[in-house]
Amino acid sequence: MPRWLIKQLKQAFYNRDRRQIRFLNQCWFSFYEKEYTRKKKQSASF
């Protein structure tokens, strides 16, 4: 997980900002999905 995302999630949880938590959660899952599919394609090409 990127450092900036960890920092923002901690801040959102500290402030109990549910909207921000949901938004950052969506960011994380889209980032993770892109990274996973990219790595999967790279390993399949070898």
pLDDT in tens, 9-45: 999 999 999 999 999 999 999 999 998 888 877 877 6
> For residues 41 and 25, what is the distance between their CA atoms, to the nearest angstrom?
24
Query: For residue 46, is pLDDT > 70?
Result: no
| Residue 21 contacts residue 13 (beta carbons within 8 Å) | yes
Judge whether residue 8 has pLDDT over 90.
yes
Biggest CA–CA distance in the chain, Å, is 46
Q: Where are the domains of the chain?
A: 3-45
Q: Provide the CA 19 distance to its chain's centre, in angstroms.
A: 15
